[in-house]
Chains A and B, each alone.
Chain A
Amino acid sequence: MGGVAVLERSLPGDPAARRRRGIPRGAWLGIAPFALYVLVFLGGPLYEVVYGAFTTTGGSLTWHNFSQTFSQPQYRSAFEQSLKISVVTSVLGGFFGVWLACAVVTAGPRSPLRRIVSSGAGVLAYFAGVPLAFAFIATLGRYGEATILLRHIGIDLNASGFDISSLTGVELAYTYFQVPLMVLLITPALEGLRPEWREAATGLGASTVGYIRHVAAPVLAPAILGGLLLLFGNAFAAYATSYALVGIYVNLVPGWIQQLISGNVLVDENGVGLALGVEMIVVIAVVMVAYALLQRRATRWLA
């Protein structure tokens, strides 16, 4: 991109000596405050976590914390459950989120429907934890409004085996904030689909399905996958909703971290909690790298 060179030419009064290739040194200072802030306020706690995971309370290096996380069955099963729930709810949330976003985007940017859904998505993506769990119990619990309503029309949820106090119930509750998050993330990409492409495809004889298969899907794929990855990270980090619905029946890693650092299970296992934290970070970091690579591909089409 010749952008930098153009910029240098257009700025009045710049010394000709500045006209060299690459990024002018002074420009780095511009992002210094930002970089410094992140370093201190994100790096600080992160350092404490990593340091505490690898050391004993006395301060000497140890592998004990990590070995506990690998050897004790409750932590292994917690990782399994966390990963399972995260994958399931991100796929579910992603799938329905994309379709909902499609249904809304086709209404045009100024339609009231679009506005309501977009702002609603911004709000509901944060609606999680105890309030969400309670709302679901009040709706689909044994004496929930929906359960009673369905019983009136002849469908007995409880008899058919459905139970909000189960893994399925938790997954359903997670979808409640996963779908809005996906809507938020995928809308800009959907907007980037130029109507000209649709017209061109139709002009060449493609049906709607054909258009989706050959034009829309490939263009949207990186954005969708990127969204799925973010949804995964979001679900992986959550636990309050699950705890309020089923206690520790659904055994999750963040829940264990919370217990361990408040010393609720065994005293002085703080380090194990931090080790679990490091492992969570590694998992999400891998996911994020994949996201970054996909984003790079996505911007190519939408720029």
Chain B
Amino acid sequence: MSSDHRQPAKRTRGMALAVVCAGALASVLAISSGAASGATNWSTATSAASGGGLSALIKAAKAEGTLNVIADPKNWADYGVEISTFEKLYGIKVNDENPLGTSQQEITAVADLGSQSRAPDVVDIGQSYALANASLFAPYKVAEWSDIPAANKDPQGRWWNDYGGYVSIGCNTSIVKVCPTSFAQMTNSEYKNDIALDDPPTTANSAFSGVWAAALSNGGSLSDIQPGITFFRKLHQSGNFVETPGLPAAIASGQTPIVIDWDYNNAAETVLNKAKFRWTVTIPTDASFAAYYAAAINSKAPDPAAARLWEEFLFSPQGQNIWLEGYARPIELPTMIKSGTVNRTFEKLLPAVAVAARYPTQAQVTAAEAVVAKGWAASQS
């Protein structure tokens, strides 16, 4: 290199040093100013108020910029609309991991992903999973906390019920002449190769509840799920039961003309297939089994403010009504009907219930799961 190049090199080196120093100074100033303003540590805030109010929460959430949710399928109780509405309102990008995942997979993800930035911020899981894993969650009380009945929330605020539904019978009227309205009817020979669950009951909460509903209609009880397994064994032996999981693909192709699933899931199928056939939703007249899902915040959430803002959104009348539009029953339904904030059109569209619903306890759920885990495969062989 000739000597002419050396002078400019020294000058650029000096300039580089100056830029670096200025940058360092600026960042030090920024950090100290942040600390000086007393910013809330949202990962330990137990309510919006304690963190400085809703507007402070919104600001912090926007600063975080992303929210990781998990196992929220677009067509499950209108989660797709919840997500897109939230994104538009606050400009926060929502990442939906594993939309087809189960409750247990949500828990496993929370445990496995630890403090990675892609760990789930919030979960929406079956009741028994919330009870069993409460230690993973951060206590938080949404603004409408008092509107949630005491039986539907953890006293410390680690989880609380969000929406629920009834086990229902979905039916393709183009294929099935007379849709069954009860479990008893399903054993008729006209339903050969027609009836399916949405997934094996050993893995899916919805199918597991379907088996329990069948148990209730056949002399079982919340402490005895065996009649449900016997019922499905009978269905299998008579040829009425189709082994294919009643997922959207199978429903659309006509492979599973009758599917037992949550009423909001069957209602979503009605909308999905309305161009091709009519999918009716009825709640069985001889068994009424309902369950609420539970919302919780990951105590190690990578976006703690966004997580809390999401919950605030879901439990505001707007968020609750979106679930209602997905044909699910939001937990605040009674209060919203009283205060008039409910979406009347959709409230009327909820399927009629003949028998009052019964909710099992944690112990009953665990016992029933064990029975199904052992006996299901044998019943279908």
Contacts and interface: CB of A to CB of B under 8 A. Distances in A.
A262 B243 contact: no
Contacts of A165: 242-244, 255
Given A163-B193, A249-B380, A264 B203 contact: yes
Given A134-B249, A249-B243, A263-B108, A142 B202 contact: no
Contact of A259 (B175, B203, B244): B203
A138 B253 contact: yes
11 contacts: A74-B377, A133-B249, A137-B250, A143-B255, A165-B243, A166-B243, A246-B243, A247-B199, A248-B202, A262-B102, A264-B102
Interface string B196-225: 000110110000000000000000000000
A265 B373 contact: yes
Interface of A: 74, 77, 130, 133-134, 137-138, 141-144, 158, 163-166, 243-249, 251, 259, 262-267
B296 interface: no
Interface string B102-130: 10110110000000000000000000000
Q: How large is the interface on B (under 10, 10 to 19, 20 to 34, 35 or more residues)?
A: 20 to 34
Given A130-B249, A137-B255, A246 B107 contact: no
B245 A247 contact: yes
Interface string B125-144: 00000001000000000000
Contacts of B253: 134, 137-138, 141, 143-144
A137 B244 contact: yes
Interface string B324-368: 000000000000000000000000000000000000000000000
Contacts of B250: 137
Given A137-B244, A141-B254, A247 B249 contact: no
A263 B243 contact: no
Contact of B104 (A163, A244, A263): A263
A264 B105 contact: yes
Contacts of A246: 243-244
B104 A264 contact: yes
Contact of A142 (B247, B254, B377): B254
Contacts of A267: 104, 132
A196 B261 CA distance: 66
Contacts of A143: 175, 253-255
Chain B CB count within 10 A is highest, among A138, A245, A249, for A249
Given A142-B193, A263-B105, A244 B377 contact: no
Contacts of B203: 248, 259, 264-265
A262 B244 contact: no
B266 to A, nearest CB: 18
B202 A265 contact: yes
Contacts of B193: 142, 158, 163
A142 B108 CA distance: 37
Nearest to A139: B253
Considering the complex of A and B, which 4 residue pairs feature the smallest CB-CB distances, nearest first? A143-B254, A249-B243, A246-B243, A165-B244
A247 B107 contact: no
A249 B197 CA distance: 12
Nearest to B192: A158
Contacts of B104: 262-264, 267
Given A143-B175, A262-B108, 11 more contacts: A133-B249, A137-B255, A138-B253, A165-B244, A247-B200, A247-B244, A259-B203, A264-B202, A264-B203, A265-B373, A267-B104
Contacts of B245: 243-244, 247
Contacts of B247: 244
A166 to B, nearest CB: 7
Given A262-B108, A264-B203, A141 B102 contact: no
Contacts of A134: 249, 253
B196 to A, nearest CB: 9
A143 B254 CA distance: 6
Given A130-B249, A165-B242, A248 B255 contact: no
B373 to A, nearest CB: 6
Interface string B281-297: 00000000000000000
A74 B108 CA distance: 23
A130 B247 CA distance: 11
A74 B374 CA distance: 8
B105 A262 contact: yes
A259 B380 CA distance: 19
Contact of B255 (A141, A243, A251): A141
A130 B100 CA distance: 13
Contact of A266 (B108, B244, B373): B373
B54 to A, nearest CB: 36
Contacts of B242: 165
Interface string B280-314: 00000000000000000000000000000000000
A77 to B, nearest CB: 8
Contacts of A74: 377
B107 A263 contact: yes
A134 to B, nearest CB: 5
Contacts of B199: 247
Contact of B243 (A77, A247, A259): A247
A247 B243 CA distance: 6
Contacts of A133: 249
Contacts of B105: 262-264
Contact of B244 (A130, A245, A263): A245
Contacts of A259: 202-203
